[in-house]
Amino acid sequence: MDAASLHTPLPSSRADAILSNQNIGTSMRESYDENPMERPINFRQLEAFRAVMQYGSMTRAGQALAVSQPAVTRLIKDLEYELGLELFRRNGAQIVPTAEGGQLYREVERHFAGAYRIREAARAIKDARAGYLHVGAMSNLSQSVVPVALGIFAERHPGVVVAVHPEQSIGLIEAIAHRQLDVAYAMVPEDRGDIDHELFPVSHAVCAMPRGHALASRKTIAVRDLQGQDFISLGARSVLRAQINAALQKSDVRPKLRLETMHSHTVADYVRQGVGLAIIDPFAAMEPASRDIVVRPFTPKISLQFSAVYREGEGRSPFALALTEIMREVVDRLLGDLQGRLREK
């Protein structure tokens, strides 16, 4: 196969045959003849192009696709004609992609990644699996409430495949906006009135400290008790951190910052190791790692309320709604258990 054979224009009879088979009207046919870019791209052409890029040879691409080498050549020529791009050049016995071919390949790979997900969804349906649910959750919820809720959900909906995506609230809201999740459990800022969400019950932040700490004997920790204390802070994007900072500034209290972490579910580990005190949301206090630390009510009360966030303007997944109902059951039970811990000596 020589270079010229790759770039022979598509005969007009071939173009007419394609258009005729697609039942396109005369005026539209004339438009397509003038501008091949307006034609829909044939999936088989993209498949051939991708195979040539991957195998570096028309012959090997044909073997991979179970078609002849001339058939692959024809598919590539048709694609080049319709796109108006030269995708490959000859370099001796080798087929080398052009710069345009390399750029197109990146887009084609993204296309095939989406097609793969469609195939996976189809396979799930054929296998009689009920569905696929993408769930986002704040990292602390993904370590505490979500595992318990998903255990119950799996028993009630054994055919559903669930993918959990831990992230901070801001990232989760962005993911919902980009339709990457079916539901997210996150704190929604007050100024986001455009978000479709349902609120969970209000809870309050607690103070976590190592066992044996000088403040552990107190029934309640006040903000002024944090003056000069070794302190663990959450990351700058945390909604809770902003509330903690406001309480500290209002009382002119300056704890000694020892560590900052972006992940609230790791705070209990640092507290247990004696790095410092921390103000955490109650769900972080429910994680297994928190069992070896002391938690106390904190004043002034810092109210926290997360939501089940859904895609705006779209029908809610019935499985997402079912999971949210289970989440409510689990939250009520765990918050009740936490009240008992707060009274422990």
What's 259's domain CATH number? 3.40.190.10
Q: Is residue 319 included in any domain, yes or no?
A: yes
CA 268 to chain centroid, in Å, comes to 25
Residue, of 17 and 120, whose pLDDT is higher: 120
Point out the least confidently predicted range of 64-78, 97-111, 119-133: 119-133
Q: Is residue 161 included in any domain, yes or no?
A: yes
- pLDDT over threshold 70, residue 32: no
Residues 192 and 216 in one domain: no
pLDDT at 16: 40
3-state SS assignment for residue 88: strand
* DSSP string of 148-183, one letter each residue: HHHHHHHHH-TTEEEEEEE--HHHHHHHHHTT--SE
Residues 284 and 294 in one domain: yes
- pLDDT over threshold 50, residue 315: yes
Residues 288 and 330 in one domain: no
Q: Is residue 116 included in any domain, yes or no?
A: no
User: Across residues 327-334, what is the average pLDDT?
Assistant: 93
CB neighbours of 288 closer than 8 A, spacing ≥ 6?
none
Q: Is residue 38 included in any domain, yes or no?
A: no
Residues 195 and 330 in one domain: yes
pLDDT at 27: 40
Residues 194 and 312 in one domain: yes
Total number of domains in the chain: 3
Residues 172 and 317 in one domain: yes
Residues 224 and 90 in one domain: no
Residues 133 and 190 in one domain: yes
DSSP 8-state code for residue 264: G
Can you count the helices (H) and strands (E) in the chain? 13, 15
Structural domain span for residue 295 = 203-304
Q: Which two tokens stand for residue 193?
A: 């009135």
What gap in Å lies between CA 108 and CA 100, rounded to an integer?
12
User: Across residues 49-64, what is the average pLDDT?
Assistant: 89
Q: Which two tokens stand for residue 22?
A: 């697609």
- pLDDT over threshold 70, residue 13: no
- For 212: left if phi > 0, alpha if psi spans -120 to 50, otherwise beta; the answer is left
Cα within 13 Å of Cα(86), Cβ side:
13
Tokens 């590539």 -> residue: 76
Residues 148 and 158 in one domain: yes
What's 92's domain CATH number? 1.10.10.10
Count the residues in the chain: 345
DSSP 8-state code for residue 37: G
Other C-beta atoms closer than 10 Å to the C-beta of 153 total 22
Residues 290 and 236 in one domain: yes
Please say whether the beta carbons of 209 and 203 come within 8 A: no
| Structure confidence at residue 238 as a pLDDT band (50, 70, 90) | confident
